[in-house]
Amino acid sequence: MANAIKRCWICGGVANSSEHMIKASDLKTMFPDASNQKPFYKHPPEAPNTAVPGIKSGLIKYSKTICSNCNNARTQPHDRAWEKLSQGLRSTNFTLKKGKKLPLYEIFGESAQIEMENVYRYLLKLFGCHCAEHQAPLPLTQIGCAILMNQHHPNITISFFAVPPRTNECVAAIGDLKAIRDSNGRVVCAAYWFGIESFGVIIQYSESEHPAIYKHGWKPHDTCLSMKLN
Ligand SMILES: [Zn+2]
């Protein structure tokens, strides 16, 4: 029997594109010379010290769960906003510490609100790809709709945390997807985090009438853009 065509979880087109688990632009700044001769290393529990021969390697991408139009043209402003935020946060201009405000206006100027909405949608795409990869039973179609309609998802929030420096090595990390189920076994909250050098992000789906894993997330249309680092 022929394999069924996999569909893009955002638009329903043919899923022919893979999203990087950590954005390629972030990896490029961390490992600018990565190659077969000079790999960087990935440490999943099942295969620590896996050599990654460059930032285009499939080892650091999710499987193909979205289409190239959604991954490129549709979400380009979202990707660009993330790149600007990530570069800004990791620049030497800002010290990131628990309890300090995120320097969003310093990085984005007057367009901070609009750009953070774009950052949020980049994180929606990443969260959806992470959930699709792990076959998490979450409403991916709704998340896809939020991206298609340029809206937010009412149950998904983002928050940021500071990572104290530990070594001089460049480190990016991705946490496991955690979930809470209700008494019927339905997932009512799910979250995962990733970190890049000095800061990390938590993306959480949580239904308001159920307990959440993390507190204090932000989503577009929350009254205040002021976000503190956890
Ligand atoms: Zn698509």
Distance 66 CA to ligand 1 centre (A): 5
Q: Where are the alpha helices (DSSP H) in the chain?
A: 24-30, 68-69, 76-90, 104-108, 112-133, 140-148
How many angstroms separate the alpha carbon of residue 74 from the centre of ligand 1?
Answer: 8
Q: Is the pLDDT of residue 189 over 80?
A: yes
How many angstroms is it from 5 CA to the middle of ligand 1?
Answer: 13
Contacts of 16 (CB under 8 A, 6+ apart): 64, 67, 68
| Per-residue pLDDT, 2 | 57
138: CA distance to ligand 1 center in Å? 18
Mean pLDDT along residues 17-22: 97
Average pLDDT over residues 189-212: 94
Q: Which residues surround ligand 1, an ion (CB under 5 A)?
A: 8, 10-11, 13, 67, 70
Q: State in Å: Cα 161 to ligand 1 middle.
A: 31
Tens-digit pLDDT profile for residues 50-73:
999 999 999 999 999 999 999 999
Q: What is the pTM of this model?
A: 0.94
pLDDT per residue over 144-181, tens digit each?
Answer: 999 999 999 999 999 999 998 777 778 899 999 999 99
CB-CB contact of 199 with 160 (8 Å) = yes
Taken as a whole, the chain contains a residue count of 230
Ligand 1 geometric centre to CA of 13 (Å) = 5
pLDDT band at 194 (very low <50, low <70, confident <90, very high): very high
What are 100-145's pLDDT values in tens digits?
999 999 999 999 999 999 999 999 999 999 999 999 999 999 999 9
CA of 72 to the centre of ligand 1 (A): 10
How many Cβ atoms sit within 10 Å of the Cβ of residue 117?
20
